[in-house]
A and B are shown apart, each in its own frame.
Chain A
Amino acid sequence: DTGVSQDPRHKITKRGQNVTFRCDPISEHNRLYWYRQTLGQGPEFLTYFQNEAQLEKSRLLSDRFSAERPKGSFSTLEIQRTEQGDSAMYLCASSLIGGGEKLFFGSGTQLSVL
């Protein structure tokens, strides 16, 4: 499977714990995006990388959130001191510069904070 891969698919955690999600983009895709989606809403932009550089962050991304993309390949999204309001689907997407801006999404990580 050469699509965008996300791990884990589901994560249940207690309030105050830290969680980390991983995204493996389509190989050779140089742009990687993180989105958050809550029930009944469309995806909301969090941040994006071009290769290993984090070029843009949404104001939705509080200081408790950090994303990395070492070596411009896979990416991780960490949430520290989780809150119940962090419960959502976290989606990763990738695209290729010059590929017509087409975004390809993974299946997401569903986070539930108890």
Chain B
Amino acid sequence: GENVEQHPSTLSVQEGDSAVIKCTYSDSASNYFPWYKQELGKGPQLIIDIRSNVGEKKDQRIAVTLNKTAKHFSLHITETQPEDSAVYFCAAGLGNQFYFGTGTSLTVIP
């Protein structure tokens, strides 16, 4: 099956700075890469996704990049705000299954 690794496990940034979270996957057949934000006591919320035929996608302060050759993808959050503090998960979609990374706990310091 697929194996998704995510780094770093924790990340602290000053408000207004950028945050970058990186993930690698093992199965070159994976073709869909969503990112989820999970706040305490809540389920994961889809924030952005990218398909294997696209190299980059942006939505306001959030962007995702995908390098299929290297099998890695990254989440970029610019101009971070305290409300961005949460746990972020990457995932790789293969068929009808989704394989998640172990999460990154992001803290934005005001």
Contact = CB atoms under 8 A, between A and B. Distances in A.
Interface of A: 4, 6, 31, 33, 40-45, 48, 50, 55-56, 91, 93, 100-108
A44 B103 CA distance: 12
B46 A42 contact: no
B43 A105 contact: yes
Contacts of B97: 45, 48, 56
Interface string B21-42: 0000000000010101000011
A103 B92 CA distance: 12
Nearest to B36: A105
Return the 8 tightest CB-CB contacts between A and B, nearest first: A42-B100, A105-B43, A107-B43, A105-B44, A42-B89, A43-B100, A108-B43, A101-B32
Contacts, number: 54
Interface of B is mostly: strand
Given A42-B100, A48-B97, A105-B43, 17 more contacts: A40-B102, A41-B103, A42-B103, A43-B44, A43-B89, A43-B98, A43-B100, A45-B97, A45-B98, A101-B32, A101-B34, A102-B46, A102-B49, A105-B36, A105-B45, A107-B42, A108-B43
A105 B41 CA distance: 13
